[in-house]
């Protein structure tokens, strides 16, 4: 995979003279080079999280980024990681979203129960109660802080998307 330098206008901050960031391959947690992203830390516990057990990124983002003990989980929609096709129906999509998030949390060394904040995006807020019912089968109390937001549309015509922040004790 080719090395990339984060553009100077990146809101996280960067400098064109900094060393490029090697994004690596699937199933890896790549360490960040010292100074590659200002403020992200430089220990061996910081890096890009990637797993083949969740859908490959369909844009210019990583599945997750770990900064010391905090993992920022990118949004997951109801894509089956094996086929990269959307599963059908709201219940199937909600389940797949949580399965995809679970795969990324495991790759980062945690679990869904380490998520401290989750954001749910729904194209129809009438499905809010289904999210609650299904989410309760994937998480244990105490539940993470959460926002549920109605949106006009989502990538690939998904009905639901979720992202989150995970904190690891180790």
Q: Which residues have a Cβ under 8 Å from the Cβ of 1 and sit 6 or more positions away?
A: 22, 23, 24, 25
170 pLDDT tier (thresholds 50, 70, 90): confident
Q: What is the DSSP annotation of 142-160?
A: SPPEEEEEE-S--GGG-SE
151 within 8 A of 121, measured Cβ to Cβ: yes
CATH number at residue 127: 3.30.1330.40
Q: How far apart are CA 63 and CA 50, in angstroms?
A: 6
21 has pLDDT over 80: no
Confidence tier at 58 by pLDDT (50, 70, 90): confident
**Cβ partners under 8 Å of residue 147, min gap 6:** 118, 119, 120
Query: pLDDT by residue (tens digit) across 139-152?
Result: 999 999 999 999 99
Structure tokens at 99: 């399965």
> What per-residue confidence (pLDDT) applies to 51?
97
Q: What's the confidence (pLDDT) of residue 43?
A: 57
Give the up-direction half-sphere exposure of residue 100: CA atoms within 13 A in the CB hemisphere: 30
Which residues span the domain enclosing 136?
A: 3-167
| Torsion (CA) 151, 61, 107, 138 in degrees, nearest 10 | 0
What's the mean pLDDT when you consider all of the chain? 82
What total of structural domains would you count in the chain? 1
Q: How far is CA 61 from the centre of its chain?
A: 9
**pLDDT tens track for 96-121:** 999 999 999 999 999 999 999 999 99
């Amino acid at each position: 995979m080719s090395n990339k330098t984060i553009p100077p206008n990146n809101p996280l901050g960067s400098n064109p003279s900094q060393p490029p960031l090697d994004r690596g391959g699937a199933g890896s947690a790549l360490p960040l080079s010292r100074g590659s992203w200002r403020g992200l830390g430089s220990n061996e516990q910081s890096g890009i999280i990637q797993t083949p057990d969740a859908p490959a990124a369909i844009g210019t983002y990583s599945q997750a980024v770990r900064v010391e003990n905090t993992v920022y989980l990118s949004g997951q929609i109801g894509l089956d990681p094996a086929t990269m096709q959307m599963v059908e129906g709201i219940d199937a999509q909600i389940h797949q979203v949580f399965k995809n998030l679970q795969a990324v949390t495991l790759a980062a060394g945690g679990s869904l129960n380490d998520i401290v904040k989750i954001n749910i995006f729904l194209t129809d807020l009438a499905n809010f109660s289904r999210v609650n019912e299904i989410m309760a089968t994937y998480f244990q109390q105490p539940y993470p802080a959460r926002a549920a937001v109605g949106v006009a549309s989502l990538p690939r015509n998904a009905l639901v998307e979720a992202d989150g922040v995970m904190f690891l004790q180790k």
